[in-house]
Amino acid sequence: MLIDISVKNFRSVKDRQTLTFEAIKDSRLDSSRVAEIDEKLKLIKTIAIVGPNGAGKSTIVRALEALKSIVMASEEEENPLKSLIGNSYAYGETKGQPSEISVSFIENGKPTYYTMVADMHKIYLESLYQKVDGIKRNMFVRTYIPETEKTKVSFGASYVGQKRKATHKLA
């Protein structure tokens, strides 16, 4: 279940904009319209995005589509970042800069946070965190280091899986 999505320098969105599914903290919403994740987190089951043309409604959907195609790409895919071609904000000082897409979602009952900063050529930052027992724990972080033109990958203690295989895929 999606908690929120943030986009920056993507299509019609220049500065970071966040769409959240988190329910308001009072009782204005009928309980049938809210999913209670835990005592602190309640999410709206259904949301509608309305606004004038060019306000960025479809940008949210396109960001989710781009993220999905990159994350779900097979190892054989030549350039999974091709879904970002032409998607960065095209005006001002951010023209040509990487796009940033962040999503928070519920995975196996735990809040999970994923961020990717990339353009159609490389990933500059990618991170995955999961909240376990109320503490945000690092699963992995991949960072591009411009001085060396190399990628550094680090795994948190909570990461479970084949690190060698994952490092190859991430780098």
Q: What is the pLDDT of residues 55-81, one digit of tens each?
A: 788 888 899 999 998 888 887 888 888
Query: What is the predicted pLDDT for the residue at 102?
Result: 96
Query: What is the predicted pLDDT for the residue at 166?
Result: 53
Counting residues of the chain whose pLDDT is more than 90, the rounded percentage is 34
**Does 142 score more than 80 pLDDT?**
yes
User: Which stretch of 66-80, 97-111, 113-127 has the lowest confidence by average pLDDT?
Assistant: 66-80
Query: What is the predicted pLDDT for the residue at 7?
Result: 94
Question: What does the alpha-carbon distance between residue 110 and residue 158 come to, in Å, rounded to a whole number?
Answer: 13
Tell me what the mean pLDDT of segment 115-120 comes to.
92
What predicted TM-score, i.e. pTM, was given to this entire model?
A: 0.84
State the SS3 of the chain.
CEEEEEEECECCECCCEEEECECCCCCCCCHHHEEECCCCCEEECCCCCCCCCCCCHHHHHHHHHHHHHHHCCCCCCCCHHHHHCCCECCCHHHCCCCEEEEEEEEECCEEEEEEEEECCCCEEEEEEEEEECCEEEEEEEEEEECCCCEEEEEECCCCCCCHHHHHHHHC
Instruction: Report the mean per-residue pLDDT for the chain.
Output: 85
**Does 93 score more than 80 pLDDT?**
no
In contact, 70 and 80? CB cutoff 8 Å: yes
